[in-house]
Structure 1
Amino acid sequence: MTSTRERQRAAARARLEKEMAQRAEAARKRRQLQASIGAGVALLLVAAGTVWLVASLGDDESETTPQADGADAGVTCVWNEIPAEQRRETTVDVGVPPTTTPPDTGTQVMTLDTNFGEIQVEMDLSEVPCTAASFSHLASQQFWDNTKCHRMFPGMLQCGDPSASGEGYRDTDGTGGPGYQFANENLPVDDRPAYPAGVVAMANSGPDTNGSQFFFIYQDVELSPDYTVLGRVTEGLDVIQEATEAGHDGAFDPSPGGGHPNNDILINSLTVSEPQ
């Protein structure tokens, strides 16, 4: 005779199998959507601040391995490599992060040495294990060293484009990134404001298309909660505010708004600590 515990385990396995099938189908549809819209064009639109476009593209579900009741398998990060035909000249391929399960407890500190001073950002690994793993990988490749923050919007400073360097960095308009994308994490769906001053969030080109670009929030901003909150500034918010005081050139006004910072804001180096 089947015990109650055995029936519960069988039900948990059935739920797991169903959820895995649903997530696999959602991932397949996302890949089809990314291919149809074109990674470069969508990145340009969202990097320019078109948040309503991002909100209209659909599912924000994080692509992690589901767990049955009582399981402790950890988080599995999926690194979706961008097909060669969809890559732009501004794509910088440094491989993908390790496929091992990332740590999901503790914190890591991201440190930016800029021409205006040092900025430190704390990442909570229980909230963004895959985002932190990606940042650790890219930082180990000096991915952001000697790049410039390339866009400003009201209360927001966007950085992280590997092509935003040298004198002509404004010409690329934030189209650069690594050769892979990964799923959203830690979306502030219940927070108001969703993006308060001090938050650091990922730019994206639609659901689950994170790369290397991110933005500092230096004033409270109310956006749709479609952008992974990767961490919070623990030191240097005043550095960001000083760097952005000169405003921007209005290159993207009147729509979608904003422009290139009038100050050259240079990231001399970006490093990520070991988990603590």
Structure 2
Amino acid sequence: MIWGGTYAYNLFFGSVTGPFGSIKRSELNTYKTLVMETSEGNMTFELDTDNTPKTAANFVLLAQKNYFNGMKFHRIIKDFMIQSGDPNSKNDDPSDDGMGGPGYQFDDEKIIGEYVRGTLAMANSGPNTNGSQFFIVHKDTEMPKNYVIFGKLIDGFDTLDKIADTPVEDNGTGEKSRPTRDVIINNIVLSDLAVE
């Protein structure tokens, strides 16, 4: 099911609601930063809860459920991006990596900004098909404004580089992006630390 017109962003009641659930705007705003603990080190992100409240809410609510724990970075292209968020990556069959999601999709929000190094954005299979897959831009890149930007890396660029340096092989479609060793998200810690 795709939520679009039924998506409710209710300013009066101060909540963000969608197929991912509901969270009070005041609670969402406390999660300005998150720490992604990976097998290669930690990365700290600042979420853009002001411009992309539903995308940020989706990510926060999934993280609260430990949804991302144990997922692999299933697609790595050095100098471009690293991608994760697919529950299929937890199984031993790499052929279905990149095709999984949380069981729902939601619409795009306005895309603000550029895809510069450290950008945190949603991966998708077309307009309004956001779910749980996301990517982190490794090096400044120009691409169509088709992917909602909902955060940025503020610490852990060395970890980003380390993950991007992971050896890769053909993923079965001719793209050299399948890691030859596992790079895993161990945990995502939500934080109310203020971002300077």
Structure that is richer in helix per residue: 1
SS at match of 1:212: coil
Residue by residue over 1:201-220, the C-alpha shift from the partner in whole angstroms, topping out at 9 and shown as x without a partner, is 00112222211100011111
Structure that is richer in strand per residue: 2
SS at match of 1:259: strand
SS at match of 1:163: helix
What is the match of residue 141 of structure 1? 65
Contact 1:150–1:169 under 8 Å retained in 2:
no
SS at match of 2:179: coil
The separation in 2 between residues aligned to 1:76 and 1:113, in whole angstroms, is: 26
Contact 2:31–2:190 under 8 Å retained in 1:
no
Higher RCO, 1 or 2 (CA under 8 Å, sep at least 6)? Answer: 2
Aligned partner letter, 2:111:
L
Q: Does residue 273 of structure 1 match 2:176?
A: no
Pick from 128, 133, 139 the counterpart of residue 219 of structure 1.
Answer: 139
Q: Does residue 263 of structure 1 match 2:181?
A: yes
C-alpha RMSD of the superposition: 2.7
Q: Does residue 163 of structure 1 match 2:82?
A: no
- The structure with the largest alpha-carbon Rg is 1
What is the match of residue 117 of structure 2? 197
The separation in 2 between residues aligned to 1:266 and 1:77, in whole angstroms, is: 29
Name the TM-score, length of structure 1 as normaliser: 0.60
For structure 1, the 5+ residue unaligned runs are: 1-26, 32-62, 67-71, 80-95
What is the match of residue 99 of structure 2? 175
For structure 2, the 5+ residue unaligned runs are: none
Pick from 50, 55, 63 the counterpart of residue 131 of structure 1.
Answer: 55
Residue by residue over 1:177-199, the C-alpha shift from the partner in whole angstroms, topping out at 9 and shown as x without a partner, is 112222222413xx4xx200010
Shift of 1:274: 4.8
- Which is further off, 134-143 or 257-266? 257-266
What is the match of residue 207 of structure 1? 127
Aligned partner letter, 1:176:
G
Percentage of pairs with the same residue: 30
Pick from 35, 38, 53 the counterpart of residue 111 of structure 1.
Answer: 35
What is the match of residue 78 of structure 1? 18
SS at match of 1:240: helix
Q: Does residue 102 of structure 1 match 2:22?
A: no
SS at match of 2:89: coil
> In the superposition, relative to structure 1, how do residues 274 and 179 fare at CA in structure 2: closer, same or farther (>3 Å)?
farther
